[in-house]
Amino acid sequence: MTKTLIIGCDHGGLALKIALKPRLEELGLEVRDLGTHTAESCDYPNIAKEVCKAVLEEESALGLLICGTGLGMSMTANRFEGIRAAVCTNEYMARMARAHNNANVLCLGERTTGPGLAQSVLEAFLEAQFEGGRHLRRINLMDQ
């Protein structure tokens, strides 16, 4: 399982981030929380950018971005070359995002995914392994 998880949220994802954090620590992950830390309204692209830069700096790190829907975070994150961010609303999507797409950032929506399901989605994402092979060829085609 990946050891470093770099996390971030906007005000729309703060409560879910707070709900998930104890489980992340229980799993023995090194969690780096880049904010936001208050309920004050803020702009999700700024947080997404910081998390993506940090993920790109550390080869085996994964990212977790949470906003109201996960959508704005994923749109911002996917502008970075080398970031493959996936909004996942169930465990199957999370498993496939890693196994077939080698996603390195999981995006969750606090307003779309309850905390229990979000935790299962996150665990499925963390446990899954990239299968490589034809999936690597397809990922490489994304940037050609």
Active site (catalytic) residues: 67, 100
Among 67, 77, 118, 122, the residue binding ligand RB5 under the rule CB under 6 A is: 67
| Strand-strand pairing, 30-33 and 62-67 | unpaired
Among 5, 12, 34, 77, the residue binding ligand RB5 under the rule CB under 6 A is: 12
Find the part of the chain contacting ligand RB5 (CB under 6 A) among 66-74, 98-106, 118-126, 133-141: 66-74
d(CA 105, CA 102): 9
Looking at the Cβ atoms of 1 and 39, the one nearer to ligand RB5 is 39
Where does residue 59 rank: exposed (0-12), middle (13-18), buried (19+ CB within 10 A)?
Answer: exposed
Closest by CA position to 50, among listed 113, 19, 6: 6
CB 6 within 8 A of CB 32: yes
d(CA 35, CA 10): 8
Find the part of the chain contacting ligand RB5 (CB under 6 A) among 53-61, 62-70, 90-98, 116-124: 62-70
Using CB under 6 A as the criterion, what x/- string covers residues 70-89 for binding ligand RB5?
A: -xx-----------------
Find the part of the chain contacting ligand RB5 (CB under 6 A) among 46-54, 65-73, 79-87, 124-132: 65-73
Would you say how long the chain is, in residues?
144
Site residues (vs ligand RB5, CB under 6 A) = 10, 12, 44, 67-69, 71-72
